[in-house]
Amino acid sequence: MPATDYIASIGLEVHVQLKTESKMFCACPVRFGAAPNTLVCPVCLGLPGALPKLNAGAIERTLVVGALLGCGTPEVVKWDRKNYFYPDMPKNYQISQFDLPLCLGGAVPLYELAYPKDAQKEIANPGKSVRLTRIHLEEDVAKSTHHAAYTTIDFNRAGTPLMEIVSEPDIESPEEAVAYLNSLRQILVYSGVSDADMEKGQMRCDVNISVRPRDQEELGTKIELKNLNSVSAVRRAIHHEIGRQIAEVEAARPIQQATWRWNDEVGQTELMRLKEDAHDYRYFPDPDLLPVRTAPFLDRIRGQLPELPHDKVARFEESYRITHYDASVLASDRALADYYEAAAAGSSAPKKIANWVINNLLAELKARALSIGECPVAPDALASLVDLVESGTVSNNQGKEVFAHLFEHPDESPADIAKAKGFEPADSGEIDAIIDEVVAANPGPVDDVRGGNDKAANFLVGQVMKRSRGKANPKQVTETILAKIRG
């Protein structure tokens, strides 16, 4: 059977570190870059007799994410011990949630711009959402570093609040998995609960993946993939694993439920261990922690939910009359959206501001490897520059020169920069005289324009721009030329 006769079913388990001040079950600070094993106490070291205390902020933040993704929440949630031995967790159990997690159900919408760039033209299932099974809260383990002959363990990370977001196997391709991770990250950053940076380990992803013939209803045996350190690695790993599983099925070698790891250097998956099931962990309720009634937490977060990326896109289209694409680009990053909105709010030309932000500002930031948060040009400075161009005080090209200068000298005003560069609005008599000269010197194009060919006017406008050394406003010149020729 050709590979196209198979369907892949992919579910993602995403662990996200929450941005809280303190750890999940003790008061130790959550902070990166401190000297190893300096942010620790008996609780997060797992010393005998130490008792955990709940972090209410972590519960609230998880419920915020649940509310944004349309999850339900049980009236009472509880804490369970997930038992296994590993040196990064000396209690020999992780405090997690088993049958009563903070969030159940919900879905993640896949945003168009969240797909890989090369896949955005042909999105197989536009408007798709991926259903969620659950979101639970647990504690992170310590960080092991494997050296040549020994391993070191840093407990600063141990006990960091960790949200685990589990999806249904609704994802059908590596590209949808990328879109899921990028959309989820956008929403998490919007919600302010996490920076969710995969490269920094703040967001970690395991993939469950199976294949089955198109006409088979029941899912195939799933393989869990681990060690995926970037969104692009997730795409490569799934692509490889789908091919491997189809080849196995084709060769009549049954897939065995197991955990594999992705080796990004070699570009292939490697068997780690045959898979254990949930019951192997002997989950049981943690006797040190009481169950939690969720109603007071839900009351507290109501009314403080942020606007979601797709709601922002719709509002930008409506309020600022910009295209869906432009609104999606601007809303793809919360800081960029805030910047745009600050610039557009007081402006008469919000559409033009969108153009300047997307075409000029982002290019300039990229060239200098700056983030929007580090942008030296204030939103109101960009707005007044766009006003100068729109009012015809400076031409578009002059505007770009002012913009480049503004990047170097963000404390100067666009109007002052334009004046210093001698970009006075051209005196209309002078431009009028140039237009008359150009019309007289080009009878051919003038005839074409008279005959209804608007394109021929572009040539004449170009001539005027050249002779005025860019001082004229092309929009006004076009209007004047058409009026003069057609009467």
Least spacing, CB of residue 122 vs Zn ion, in Å: 50
Phi, psi of 125 (to 5 degrees): -130, 75
Strand-pairing partners, residue 145, are: 152
CA distance 396 to 355: 12
Question: Which of Zn ion, Mn ion, none sits in contact with 41, Cβ below 5 to 8 A by type?
Answer: Zn ion
- Mode of pairing for the β-strands spanning 129-139 and 76-77: unpaired
Q: Which is nearer to Mn ion, 16 or 402 (CB)?
A: 16
Q: Which is nearer to Zn ion, 41 or 482 (CB)?
A: 41
Whether 365 and 391 have beta carbons less than 8 Å apart is answered as no
DSSP state of 171: B
Least spacing, CB of residue 136 vs Zn ion, in Å: 21
Phi, psi of 255 (to 5 degrees): -75, 135
Residues 17 to 56 in contact with Zn ion, rule: CB under 5 A: 26, 28, 41, 43-44
| Token pair listed for 289 | 């922690």
Strand-pairing partners, residue 95, are: 81
Least spacing, CB of residue 163 vs Mn ion, in Å: 9
Question: Which of Mn ion, Zn ion, none sits in contact with 28, Cβ below 5 to 8 A by type?
Answer: Zn ion
Task: Kindly state the helix (H) or strand (E) to which residue 364 belongs, with its residue range.
Answer: helix 362-367
DSSP per position, 79-145: -EEEE---TT-TTSEEEE-SSS-SEE--EEE--GGGS-GGGSSS-SSTT-EEEEEEEEEEE--PEEE
Q: Which is nearer to Mn ion, 97 or 463 (CB)?
A: 97
- Mode of pairing for the β-strands spanning 76-77 and 151-154: unpaired
Q: Which is nearer to Zn ion, 41 or 298 (CB)?
A: 41
Minimal CA–CA distance to 46: which of 141, 146, 180, 137?
A: 141
Residue span binding Mn ion (CB under 5 A) among the ranges 59-67, 156-164, 351-359, 468-476: 156-164
Residue span binding Mn ion (CB under 5 A) among the ranges 104-112, 113-121, 160-168, 182-190: 160-168
Q: Which is nearer to Zn ion, 20 or 463 (CB)?
A: 20
Residues 305 to 344 in contact with Mn ion, rule: CB under 5 A: none
Alpha helix ranges (H) inside 131-207? 174-191
One character per residue 110-149, x = contact with Mn ion (rule: CB under 5 A): ----------------------------------------
**Would you count residue 224 as binding Mn ion (CB under 5 A)?**
no
Q: Which is nearer to Zn ion, 159 or 379 (CB)?
A: 159
Residue span binding Mn ion (CB under 5 A) among the ranges 64-72, 159-167, 179-187, 229-237: 159-167
Q: Which is nearer to Mn ion, 140 or 170 (CB)?
A: 140
Least spacing, CB of residue 125 vs Mn ion, in Å: 28
- Close Cβ partners of 328 (under 8 Å, ≥ 6 residues apart): 111, 112, 113, 313
Whether 145 and 154 have beta carbons less than 8 Å apart is answered as yes
Minimal CA–CA distance to 260: which of 268, 252, 250, 251?
A: 268
Least spacing, CB of residue 164 vs Mn ion, in Å: 4
Least spacing, CB of residue 82 vs Mn ion, in Å: 8
Q: Which is nearer to Mn ion, 164 or 387 (CB)?
A: 164
Question: Which of Mn ion, Zn ion, none sits in contact with 164, Cβ below 5 to 8 A by type?
Answer: Mn ion
Residue span binding Mn ion (CB under 5 A) among the ranges 158-166, 255-263, 299-307, 408-416: 158-166
Residues contacting Zn ion: total by CB under 5 A: 5
Question: Within 13 Å of residue 236, how many CA atoms lie on the same side as its CB?
Answer: 16
**Would you count residue 164 as binding Mn ion (CB under 5 A)?**
yes
Question: Which of Mn ion, Zn ion, none sits in contact with 26, Cβ below 5 to 8 A by type?
Answer: Zn ion
**Would you count residue 176 as binding Mn ion (CB under 5 A)?**
no
C-alpha distance from residue 340 to each of 114, 226, 313, 348, 394 (Å): 20, 39, 12, 14, 22
Minimal CA–CA distance to 168: which of 128, 126, 227, 111?
A: 128
Q: Which is nearer to Mn ion, 17 or 398 (CB)?
A: 17
Q: Which is nearer to Mn ion, 110 or 163 (CB)?
A: 163
CA distance 378 to 463: 36
Question: Which of Zn ion, Mn ion, none sits in contact with 343, Cβ below 5 to 8 A by type?
Answer: none
Least spacing, CB of residue 114 vs Mn ion, in Å: 24
Least spacing, CB of residue 85 vs Zn ion, in Å: 21
Task: Kindly state the helix (H) or strand (E) to which residue 263 belongs, with its residue range.
Answer: strand 258-263
Q: Which is nearer to Zn ion, 41 or 314 (CB)?
A: 41
| Token pair listed for 349 | 């030309």
Least spacing, CB of residue 138 vs Mn ion, in Å: 5
Least spacing, CB of residue 162 vs Mn ion, in Å: 7
Count helices and strands in the chain by DSSP H and E runs? 17, 16
Contact footprint for Mn ion (CB under 5 A): 164
Contact footprint for Zn ion (CB under 5 A): 26, 28, 41, 43-44
